[in-house]
A and B are shown apart, each in its own frame.
Chain A
Amino acid sequence: MRAFDYVRAGDTAEAVREAGGAETRFIAGGTNLLDLMKLEVMAPGKLVDINRLDLGGIEATGEGGLRIGALVTNSDLAADARVRRDWPVLSRALLAGASGQLRNKATTGGNLLQRTRCYYFYDRGEPCNKREPGSGCAAKDGMNRILAILGTSEHCIATHPSDMAVAMRALGARVEVEGQGSGREIALEDFYRLPGDTPHIETVLEPGELITAVILPPPAGGRQIYRKVRDRSSYAFALVSVAAVVAVENGRIAKAQLAFGGLGPMPWRDADVEDALVGETPSAALFDRAGDILLAEAKGYGGNDFKIPLTRRTLAAVLTQATEDDQ
């Protein structure tokens, strides 16, 4: 770990003010940042501790949604009675992530900004464009079982590893941020960036911008499912995950909000897939077609080729379950 300056901010304004420099990072639960700092994969010159900020509440919004403070822990958010009742896909996604100990520490803001678990990103002995722009990508021709098949570039094939963010993407969440001078809201679909030739820049956040909350729109209703497929029963990142909010009316699909984890550099959502489903009668053939559309551009890199059939099958199973007559 490199020596760094440390400031504990008392309120949002102070946090944003202190975070002016390019070398500065906020620290929340620290469950990702500290690991990366110990390995010197990340080496901020200054940490602004935001744990004293008043961002720990979950409140109803005027439009009937929820405003989740950036410091709400993954455990608390998963256990919130409103979330469990009206946005159950979010609760399930959270509980599918990490371990109890980590969820107690991990925060909503930190979870959105956690970095990839690409093996080579963690290893300073290896080339990695995300860690060291221009050094190359060791994963492309190396071990890439856990990496992405959608949205990759020749410069980086990393996935975004979050479960929480996948559910939030399916729910159409927005991210509330506070920067120097002013705040703004960013739809989650606009929040992350594709790697292109700058895989080290992962979001549209400006340096020093602080996430203050995540806004959930009013309850989406329908059946909500989070299915996570991984290499052991618990405590492993998703190989593929599907967050689904699906409603059937009069035998036809009336709503299909689907987001995917483990596939791309961001929680993945594809409007064409949803459009193909809405208005149709559920059937195996339809679900296959949805898979075709989702995976039309999918590209495997050897070790992760299996994610293509796995995604297709998992999606079909989730859609089947979501559209079954009784549950």
Chain B
Amino acid sequence: MTLETTRRLKHDTPDTDRRLDGMAQGVLGTGMDRPEGPLKVAGRATYAAEAHPEAMAEGYLVRAATIGRITGSNGDAIRAMPGVIEVIEDERMIRNAAQGMAGESPVQKQGQVWYVGQPVACVVAESFEQARHAAQAMLVTIEPDGTHVFDAEDPAAEVEKPKQKQLDQGDLEGAMSAAAFSLDATYHTPSMSSAAMEPHASVAQWDEDGALTLRGSYQLLKFNKAELADVLGVAPEKVRILSPYVGGGFGSKLGLAPEAVAAALAAQALGRPVRVVLHRRQVFETVTRRSETRQRIRLACDAEGKLSAIGHENLVSQLPGEVFSEPVAQGTHFQYAAPNRVIGHEIARIRRPAAGSVRAPGEAVGVTAFEIAIDELAKKAGIDPLEFRLRNVPDKHPENGKPFSSSTMEATLREGAKRFGWTHTPPRQRRDGEWWIGTGMAGAVRVNMMIEAMARVVLTGQGARVECDMTDIGTGSYAILTQVAAEMLGFAPDRVETVLGDTDLPPASGSGGSFGAASTSTAVYLACMELRERLAAKLGVKETELTLKDGLAIHENRKTPLAELLGEEEWRALGHLQPGKAGQEVRQATWGAIFAEVAVSDVTGETRVRRMDGTFAAGRILNLKTARSQCHGGMIWGIGLALTEAMEHDPRDGHMVNRDLAEYHLPVNLDVPQLGVHFLEERDDWANPLQAKGIGELAICGSGAAVINAIENACGVRVRRLPATLDQVMDGLIAQG
């Protein structure tokens, strides 16, 4: 019997059943190893570029070095070069990667170069080296099309101020002038790159029926499939994307990128498979970056440190024609209570490579700057920054009065402080040789989202199989989905196989916005509930009275092996989660608190993080190890944001200057101290029936501020332009004398 039944959930109300707490297998929540881990460490997990279909040709993208209209090229000369098969100059090539969840073609080439670094053609050759050499020899003639602006703060920049992104409640200016203490400060964060370890790569292959299979490295396959179909002008049914393993995404693989389109067009034109791998330097330019931001923050409080006003006005940048803009104040809307509030959002249309979602869009930079500002105001008010925050914990959404689905801000602050041993002393008190020692802290907050997701679970007497187009971008999807099914159906995890990353399977949520694990796990949960119901019905018992464990169905001391119940049958169920009112009626968020100790050289201004500790509440933790890894990663990103990472744009043409991993400085091992990560046990019933929330981004949203605040506490230098490179700190030290 292969009857497939579906269980749907339109998620409108909290789920207080907490069925998972009643399950018996005991695998969910443990730090179970990744089932695909051995494949990865043994090099047997095939990443996109490692597919080698027969007769595959190699494509290499050609980069435009100036902006303007494309008027011609030496394509014919290139075609005559050794090994070159074809030069693809198709107008359907895309200007930059699609935005996350676009589901339609991004801006296409249209004979125009919008930014320096845009891919304008693709040279296809028999070997990679031939393609690369020919691509480097290719000259595209580009006629200048006027003067352009490359810096969002250039007065000549065209600036948009979308109405729906502004907020003005109460009287901010009045509150500022009436306040006991106030702050009006401007912060800058730089342009940044996701810099995932695996560069983008696509291998495209068409069959005789005009159907395309693309092996790529992507995060949101159902959207990517729609995007690719739209770009090519074919029906979505004709497109299949495979991304079983993804070597990191961090937002850069949310949207279809130029290499996939080039590979598909080339493979179509040539009638043979084509692989296009981006060079690291191309990854930096052609996939979306995190926008630089300028953030003006105004704060006012009374003598006791109670906030009366919050202003957060932001300027971000974007290429013309892109819808996304870095939602800097996303966390500011609800992180702190204060009656008078202004939020401003401006987008400068400039000619730097396209901006898009990079891990924790909005809060990563917004909360970071805001938590520095809070530290500054607490200092002015003479109040311990921990205490200051505790006095301003909101009990409901400060702008619209909606309740929080769960409010753990205070608990994380208190628990985090205890674990770190937080005490607060004035700056420039502790010294170790030439090094000033200081501590700093920050709150972390990130919105929680659920996305529509489907998953199939196939049950047999021996085990189960989970199938969907979910991706595992290094986050642990294989492990978590395996655990959910094992827990719900009562199998040891090695009896559960999880198959992911194939658009022929039911469309899951994909990975992004920290929504992947919770959304797709919910779909798996629903499918498992459906199977449990069917098992209960077959046994003639109520589902809630049925225990499944180690392959046995247990009811009132009767144990029936599933092998007996199912025989040779294969039962299939589809779980389908549709987000509903639960996302709108309450404010769902995850919370945390980060504490850091740093040393700052009095000679050079170099900063070393000595200790860092994070306490987080993110609903039910599905896998302790992968959740902790996510927080480690987030905290390391925080260190990068605070100290090392910046994409430098040439002021004359906006191009990215430091586009390799030697000069784009991600934190290295020695920059990262032992990191403490602690989770508060939490069940958020509004989130989903698993009570689980996103954990992939939370830790970035504040970690950088803890470091910056610790620098101030160490040596008295306040940095407002991130990253806090040594020259900035040294200038501050010199100014202090």
Contacts and interface: CB of A to CB of B under 8 A. Distances in A.
B133 A1 contact: yes
Contact of A233 (B65, B603, B608): B608
Contact of A232 (B648, B652, B655, B665): B665
Contacts of B604: 229, 310, 313-314, 317
A231 B607 CA distance: 9
A306 B727 contact: yes
Given A40-B136, A117-B663, A313-B603, A229 B726 contact: yes
B603 A119 contact: no
B730 A313 contact: yes
A142 B652 CA distance: 8
Interface string A233-260: 1111101000000000000000000000
A125 interface: yes
B731 A233 contact: no
Contacts of B726: 229, 231, 239, 310
A126 B65 CA distance: 8
Interface string A133-163: 0000010011101100000000000000000
Contact of B670 (A122, A138, A234, A237): A234
Contacts of A126: 65
B133 A40 contact: yes
Interface string A162-181: 00000000000000000000
A141 to B, nearest CB: 8
B650 interface: yes
Contacts of A85: none
Contacts of B133: 1-3, 40
Given A142-B657, A235-B668, A38 B65 contact: no
A309 B727 CA distance: 9
A306 B730 contact: yes
B213 interface: no
A125 B62 CA distance: 12
B249 to A, nearest CB: 23
B303 to A, nearest CB: 40
Given A40-B136, A125-B63, A232-B643, A317 B603 contact: yes
A124 interface: yes
Contacts, number: 86
Chain B interface bracket (under 10, 10 to 19, 20 to 34, 35 or more): 35 or more
Contacts of A124: 136
Contacts of A1: 129, 132-133
A298 to B, nearest CB: 15
A1 B127 CA distance: 12
Nearest to A306: B727
Nearest to B651: A142
B82 A3 contact: yes
Nearest to A144: B657
B665 A231 contact: yes
Most chain B CB within 10 A, of A141, A146, A232, is at: A232
Contacts of B671: 232-234
B603 A232 contact: no
The secondary-structure label for the interface of chain A is loop
B599 to A, nearest CB: 11
Interface in B439-483: none
Contacts of A235: 662, 668, 670
A310 B730 contact: yes
Nearest to B83: A3
B356 to A, nearest CB: 23
Interface string A260-296: 0000000000000000000000000000000000000
Contacts of A120: 657
Interface string A209-248: 0000000000000000000010111111101000000000
A124 B135 CA distance: 12
B650 A143 contact: yes
A309 B651 contact: no
Contacts of A306: 727, 730-731
Contacts of A239: 726
Interface string B649-666: 011100101101011010
Contacts of B657: 119-120, 123, 142-143
B70 to A, nearest CB: 15
A25 to B, nearest CB: 17
A263 B164 CA distance: 51
A122 B644 contact: no
Contact of B660 (A122, A234, A237): A122
Interface in B95-127: 116
A257 to B, nearest CB: 21
B734 interface: yes
A232 B658 CA distance: 15
A231 B725 contact: yes
B736 interface: no
Contacts of A145: 648
Interface of B: 63, 65, 82, 116, 129, 132-133, 136, 281, 434, 603-606, 608, 643-644, 648, 650-652, 655, 657-658, 660, 662-663, 665, 667-671, 725-727, 730-731, 734
23 contacts: A1-B129, A1-B133, A38-B132, A117-B662, A123-B657, A125-B63, A143-B648, A143-B658, A145-B648, A229-B726, A231-B725, A232-B643, A233-B670, A234-B668, A234-B671, A236-B665, A239-B726, A306-B731, A309-B734, A310-B730, A313-B603, A313-B730, A317-B603
Give the top 6 A-B pairs by smallest Cβ distance, nearest first. A125-B65, A306-B727, A233-B670, A234-B670, A317-B603, A119-B657
